[in-house]
Amino acid sequence: MRRILRATIAVSLAGLAITFYLGSGGLQTLTTVEAKSLPGTATLSGTVDSSKPFQAGQVYIRNLDKQMLYMVYTSAGRFQAVNLFPGNYELSVRAKGLESDVQKLTLKAGENGPAKLSMRESGHDPSRNPDLEYRSFEEIYPPGPGLEVAKRTCIACHGPSFLSARAWNAEQWNAALDLMAGSGGTLGAMIQPKDLPPQDRETLLAYLVKNFGPGNKLRAVTVTREMPVEESKISKAMYIEYYLAKDPPGQGVNAAEYASLPGNFPWSKQKRVGQDVRFDPDGNVWLTDRGYPMRVVKLNPRTGERKDYVVPEPTNGIHDLAVDKNGMVWFGEHRGTSGTAVKHLNMLNPKTEKWEARYPLDPEGVLKSPQKWAQSIAIDSKGNVYVGWIGGGGLSRWDRETKKMTAYNTPGFNPSVYGVVADKNDNAWMAQWRDGKITKFDPKTSKFTQYAPPTQPALIRRLNVDSKNNIWFGIFSAGKLVKFDQAAEKMTEYTIPHENSQPYDVVEDSAGNIWIADAGQGGTLLKFNPRDQSFTYYPSPQRADKPKIQVTREGAVWYSPRSSQDYPGFGVLFPDMDKITTLAAYY
Ligand code: HEC
């Protein structure tokens, strides 16, 4: 049997690290690996033992100075992490049902370790939310007419664990139904009048109050078939998360005018909520923060430096953002406390740090729906800006040459528009998520064309364009990945082989893999390889959905852990840490 390694010495030579493994018998192995750390950063290696066998233990390397986390997996009980900022850390590891103590350590530039960690039985599953009880669907949802209504409305969109994680009285459930049915069930509401006639609404309300009323033990639907982890495939992966700074007393979320506002997301203990990420031309990453006051946040991933920019109207809503070729940061106003206010497209100039442009998104009042929440944003190759209306059922287009905004009502049964992207021919594509269709808008003819995947009903959230101009999207409600070949007008569906799969966003990397942000089972990243049709699961550092993913040209997958309880912020998965040449993010 091989002896346990006693020392590891790494020598960096022009980006090539040569590692000598020394056992008691002297030099045993000479391994040349590609692993290298960027100048001035630290590497950490170590070993993990445990009272029980485990696979792909998750090693948490938490930087206390910069509010950051690095996470790598163990491979045959060993781990390595590269490109760590020198400083003060906490180190721990966990695997299913196992966890270690937390060790403090200080990392200096260059090689550190080997660290030694031991896991013991923890009695809890880290993939589960400790605040919830896990039960089967049948146990949580007793049969009855109320269940049928809940299934075709709330559960279809929110998944099976949304209603059960609440304990609301009739007034609170009624308010939720009002919110979802819109004022009078108008166009653009989440629930159309025909899906919730008054009789069904009463039945549903009674069902919700009876099963998820005051005193309800908060529950989530248990997973009977877990996603398989393939240690050998993910052993070189590394996650990094950069967290949003906590606001000091009297400032930000704690300022008098915002402190009394309800958190935008009841699940978060924090009032700051990261939502969507994008890269700028200088390698920085931008994030929208949906807490009050709403902000966009700039991260320099090379240093960990973060900077907040409060938006012009800090309670009027924010969701998605986009950065144009000149580095200008754009966003459309979503849903806030000033819910009926006019929604604008806003532009931040990061050079002057000023909001320099602001355009009403529906200047002529064209949109039919009284409920107006603008959401996703896309910029085409000429710099024209598109904003979709999830509440309002429209698409707005800002023309860069004329500076004119035009709003269009989108076709369909419920035209709520979720993701928006511009394709290689400068057409805009939308996911019309309640409608189960994707829709093309041709700006030359102002014509909309809809295409439906075979699986229906289909709730579709985000969509993306690949290098060949195919459109990819997930069916959130059915766990399917779909490719739409524009030239052949052909849909191909792939079944994601996991229970409760809820694909939120999908995007191609430069090697032709499709990355999937899957909100089912707590929220994680999956890689689909279209060549052998395999799916690989990369368990994430925290349980949280990732509504938008963006891939760098080197294949790093950026996201925001949106439903994070404790750590809202930025995140990135490097599938192969040996191949990292920069921490910066470039398209
Ligand atoms: C067509 C999809 C859809 C249906 C059907 C739907 N919702 Fe929603 N719901 C949404 C969206 C979208 C939001 C807004 C989330 C955001 O702002 O990002 C939302 C937000 C909410 C919120 C407020 C935010 C929160 O997380 O608490 C509640 C409460 C809610 N829904 C309850 C319900 C209930 C109860 C039903 C069933 C009667 C239902 N929804 C049906 C899509 C839907």
Which whole number is the average pLDDT over 262-271? Answer: 74
| Location of structure tokens 């010495």 | 9
Model confidence at 340, in pLDDT bands (50, 70, 90)? low
Which whole number is the average pLDDT over 105-113? Answer: 96
DSSP string for 347-383:
EEETTTTEEEEEEESSTT-----S--EEEEEEE-TT-
Cα–Cα dist 88/100, whole Å: 19
The residue contributing the CA closest to ligand 1 atom 38 is 154
The residue contributing the CA closest to ligand 1 atom 36 is 154
| CA geometry: angle 320, 585, 574, nearest 5 deg | 105
pLDDT for the residue numbered 306: 97
Which whole number is the average pLDDT over 175-183? Answer: 83
Reported as a single tens digit per residue, the pLDDT across 343-388 is 999 999 999 999 999 999 999 999 987 778 999 999 999 999 999 9
Question: Of how many residues is the chain composed?
Answer: 587
Output 262-269 pairs: Cβ under 8 A, ≥24 positions apart. 263/291, 264/290, 264/291, 264/292, 265/290, 265/562, 265/563, 267/165, 267/563, 267/565, 268/563, 268/564, 268/565, 268/568, 269/565, 269/566
Check whether 391 has a pLDDT greater than 90.
Answer: no
Which is nearest to 493 in space by CA: 536, 550, 438, 414?
438
Cα–Cα dist 577/587, whole Å: 18
pLDDT for the residue numbered 158: 85
Sequence-distant (≥ 6) Cβ neighbours of residue 157 within 8 angstroms: 190, 434, 459, 477
Residue 39 CA: distances (Å) to CA of 71, 84, 328, 572, 579: 20, 10, 30, 20, 15
Residue 7 CA: distances (Å) to CA of 26, 106, 385, 551: 10, 18, 56, 37
The residue contributing the CA closest to ligand 1 atom 19 is 180
Distance of CA 212 to the CA centre of its chain: 27
Reported as a single tens digit per residue, the pLDDT across 41-76 is 999 999 999 999 999 999 999 999 999 999 999 999
Model confidence at 395, in pLDDT bands (50, 70, 90)? very high
Reported as a single tens digit per residue, the pLDDT across 225-262 is 888 899 999 999 999 999 999 999 999 999 999 988 87
Least confident of 116-125, 415-424, 489-498: 116-125
Pocket-forming residues, ligand 1, beta carbon under 6 Å: 153-154, 156-158, 176-177, 179-180, 190-191, 266, 335, 434
Cα–Cα dist 521/543, whole Å: 8
Cα–Cα dist 371/231, whole Å: 48
Check whether 184 has a pLDDT greater than 50.
Answer: no
Which is nearest to 308 in space by CA: 356, 264, 243, 263?
243
Rounded to 5 degrees, φ, ψ at 35 are -55, 130
Check whether 126 has a pLDDT greater than 80.
Answer: no
pLDDT for the residue numbered 547: 95
Show the tokens assigned to 563.
């439903």
Residue to substitute in 141, 152, 157 for testing ligand 1 pocket (most ligand atoms within 8 angstroms of CB): 157
Check whether 20 has a pLDDT greater than 70.
Answer: no
For the chain, give every domain's residue range.
7-121, 133-221
Cα–Cα dist 388/378, whole Å: 9
| CA geometry: angle 273, 318, 158, nearest 5 deg | 65
Reported as a single tens digit per residue, the pLDDT across 74-108 is 999 999 999 999 999 999 999 988 999 999 999 99
pLDDT for the residue numbered 189: 66
| Location of structure tokens 């509010």 | 67
pLDDT for the residue numbered 157: 80
| Percentage of the chain exceeding pLDDT 90 | 76
pLDDT for the residue numbered 532: 96
Residue to substitute in 154, 155, 158, 502 for testing ligand 1 pocket (most ligand atoms within 8 angstroms of CB): 158
Give the architecture (CATH level 2) of 7-121: Sandwich (2.60)
Reported as a single tens digit per residue, the pLDDT across 492-528 is 999 999 888 999 999 999 999 999 999 987 789 999 9
Residue 158, classed as helix, strand or coil, is: helix
